């Protein structure tokens, strides 16, 4: 009853209902998208909804994991480095995610061991049950507090040894909360082309594995590339002990992932959930999602944007970014073709792969691999009047390119790339020292020890600048994830040569946005605007960038614009 009482909402209006989302057969079936899509429907029905992701890996968070291993690291407003599924959550619902919405096996064990070292367990033997499972439940309670419904996604696949403590914890919570908790299991229903048959056996075994640890699914989401017939749904229902109407076909979306809420609603998933949990809710209004799908399906224009990065072979490495680029075309119904260009390829083969693109974007990243290829791509964009957007590392590379090729600082570089450069236009704040050895430029918003600057921070824009016109306001808040900064010693040099520093931290000590006014559309930002882009609203930088790409393609951008 301790955990049950903890779920009492502060308003006294009742307990938070829990929907646990598990996956079976194989990974990467789309648990995060399915959970986010259901949450989106429930939100349109007037419910206050949140989501959380429980990851079974031992890392405390994904911040140090390679994008090749785990995809992008998503950053929340409060500075948490989290799983990329939290990006899906924020793109689908209005609730903002935070540190409490993502936790890992590593964090759970770290917390329990810290308590043990403090003596909190009074000399008792610390065990997986109850100490680890209780810590998991405490974290779920914290994430769900104050909401009508919380969807809790369990990472990995049922049967993985790493997931067992999480599954045991949610099994216990299912017992403790009874009708206030339900289980939704996403599983693969493969189609065998040789036999021309859909096979339900993997789903049967996956649900059997789930039941062996005491969890009975209330809903089956059957992921399949073909429609599942009524007979096949009945067979799945029979062998998994769920009603046939609770066997939901999770087909690949016809047009885009933003169609998933509509597809799930058409099959009545939200009605099943509302009835099962005994919730009071209004009718679903998916008109905004229908508009998004319509704008994606019925485009009037088409542009090609070159994404020049170092993880382009991994589809999830730039997940929020590619979604934000797509969102950028929605306002004007522009279909965006993303040409993924490996920056090392440019180093080896030259910039020929960029010929004919309508715009160039260089995203964030770390380390020297492929850096010179990014610099070459930026020079191509600058010299050929191709619209350019640089994000984080892409802004820093733009500063390096401008310093080298416009300001004449041939050795200009970031100290991350070359610690011995004679012109460190980008560096750690601790590297900007005056003669007495004191840090010359400081900001309370920045980590002076050279550690990561993370999360939402305010930025003051210069009125009349490209950024100021796009945002339509003087002060913005955007999310950061970086260590290196624009070196203030080079402000005057770059400004004299035509670079506009159009965005600064609130105390004016850190450069956040750079522009080249003599270029038709050239902007680099130190933050990550992709983390706050949604399909419903887009983001001003991406909308402006894609519309500039269209104007460039149509020959409507001026060859140059007047300097501010």
**407 tagged catalytic:** no
Stretch (H or E) spanning 404 = helix 393-405
| E strands present in 27-119 | 49-55, 74-75, 81-82, 102-104
Tell me the H-state helices in 45-132. Answer: 67-70, 85-92, 105-118
DSSP secondary structure string, 214-249? T---SEEEEEESSPPPHHHHHHHHHHHTS-GGGEEE
Give the Cα separation of 219 and 310 in Å (integer): 40
Q: Residues 224, 392, 407, 525: which is the catalytic one?
A: 392
Give the Cα separation of 165 and 381 in Å (integer): 51
**Cα separations in angstroms, 391 against 124, 463, 482, 512:** 51, 21, 11, 10
Give the Cα separation of 564 and 561 in Å (integer): 9
> Cis link prior to 248 (omega < 30° from 0)?
no
List phi, psi (to 5°) of 227. -60, 140
**530 tagged catalytic:** yes
191-192 vs 197-198, strand pairing mode: antiparallel
Q: Residues 480, 528, 539, 547: which is the catalytic one?
A: 528
Q: Give the number of other CB atoms < 10 A from CB of residue 28.
A: 10
Q: DSSP letter at 72?
A: P
The answer to whether residues 81 and 107 touch, using CB atoms and an 8 Å cutoff, is no
Give the Cα separation of 256 and 289 in Å (integer): 11
- Which residues, 6+ apart, have CB-to-CB distance to 9 below 8 Å? 15, 16, 145, 146, 147
Q: Residues 168, 232, 512, 530: which is the catalytic one?
A: 530
**528 tagged catalytic:** yes
Dihedral over Cα of 148, 152, 59, 108: its sign: positive
The three-class DSSP label of residue 321 is: helix
Give the Cα separation of 85 and 91 in Å (integer): 10
The answer to whether residues 284 and 189 touch, using CB atoms and an 8 Å cutoff, is no
Tokens of 417: 């790339």
Give the Cα separation of 420 and 422 in Å (integer): 6
- Which residues, 6+ apart, have CB-to-CB distance to 353 below 8 Å? 306, 339, 341, 345, 346
Q: What angle (nearest 5°) sits at the alpha carbon of residue 155, between those of residues 312 and 197? A: 80
17-23 vs 49-55, strand pairing mode: unpaired
> Which positions are annotated as active-site residues?
392, 528, 530
């Amino acid at each position: 009853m301790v955990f049950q009482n903890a779920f009492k909402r502060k308003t006294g209006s009742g307990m938070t209902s829990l929907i646990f989302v598990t996956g079976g057969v194989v990974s990467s079936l789309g648990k995060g998208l399915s959970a986010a899509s259901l949450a989106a429907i429930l939100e349109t029905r007037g419910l206050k909804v949140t989501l959380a992701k429980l990851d079974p890996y031992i890392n405390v968070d994904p911040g140090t994991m390679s994008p090749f291993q785990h995809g992008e690291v998503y950053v929340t407003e409060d500075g948490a480095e989290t799983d990329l599924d939290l990006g899906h959550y924020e793109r689908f619902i209005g609730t903002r995610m935070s540190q409490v919405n993502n936790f890992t096996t590593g964090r759970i064990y770290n917390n329990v061991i810290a308590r043990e070292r403090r003596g909190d367990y009074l000399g008792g033997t610390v065990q997986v049950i109850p100490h680890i499972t209780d810590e998991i439940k405490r974290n779920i309670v914290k994430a769900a507090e104050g909401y009508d419904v919380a969807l809790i996604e369990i990472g990995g696949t049922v049967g993985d040894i790493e997931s067992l403590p999480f599954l045991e914890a949610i099994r216990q919570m299912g017992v403790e909360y009874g009708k206030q908790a339900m289980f939704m299991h996403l599983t693969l229903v493969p189609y065998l082309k040789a036999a021309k048959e859909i096979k339900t056996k993997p789903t049967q075994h996956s649900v059997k594995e789930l039941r062996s640890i005491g969890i009975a699914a209330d809903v089956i989401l059957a992921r399949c590339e073909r429609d599942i017939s009524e007979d096949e749904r009945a067979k799945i229902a029979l062998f998994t002990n769920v009603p046939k109407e609770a066997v939901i076909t999770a087909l690949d979306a016809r047009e885009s992932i933003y169609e998933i809420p509509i597809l799930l609603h058409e099959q009545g998933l939200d009605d099943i959930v509302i009835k099962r949990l005994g919730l009071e809710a209004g009718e679903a209004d998916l008109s905004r999602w229908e508009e998004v799908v319509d704008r994606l399906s019925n485009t009037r224009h088409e542009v090609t944007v070159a994404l020049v990065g170092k993880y382009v072979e991994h589809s999830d490495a730039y997940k929020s970014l590619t979604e934000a680029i797509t969102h950028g075309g929605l306002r004007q119904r522009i279909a965006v073709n993303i040409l993924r260009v490996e920056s090392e390829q440019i180093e080896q083969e030259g910039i020929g792969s960029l010929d004919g693109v309508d715009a160039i974007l260089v995203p964030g990243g770390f380390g020297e691999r492929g850096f010179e290829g990014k610099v070459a791509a930026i020079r191509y964009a600058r010299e050929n009047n191709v619209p350019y957007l640089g994000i984080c590392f892409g802004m820093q590379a733009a500063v390096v390119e401008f310093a080298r090729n416009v300001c004449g600082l041939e050795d200009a570089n970031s100290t991350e790339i070359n610690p011995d450069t004679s012109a460190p236009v980008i560096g750690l704040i601790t590297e900007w020292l005056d003669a007495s050895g004191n840090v010359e430029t400081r900001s309370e918003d920045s980590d002076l020890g050279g550690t990561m600057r993370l999360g939402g921070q305010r930025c003051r824009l210069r009125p009349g600048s490209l950024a100021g016109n796009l945002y339509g306001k003087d002060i913005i808040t955007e999310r950061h994830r970086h260590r290196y900064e624009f070196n203030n010693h080079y402000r005057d040099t770059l400004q004299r040569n035509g670079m506009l520093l159009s965005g600064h931290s609130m105390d004016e000590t850190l450069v956040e946005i750079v522009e080249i006014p003599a270029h038709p559309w050239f902007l680099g930002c130190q933050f990550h605007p992709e983390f706050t882009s949604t399909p419903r609203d887009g983001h001003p930088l991406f909308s402006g960038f894609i519309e500039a790409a269209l104007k460039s393609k149509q020959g409507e951008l001026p060859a140059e614009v007047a300097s501010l």
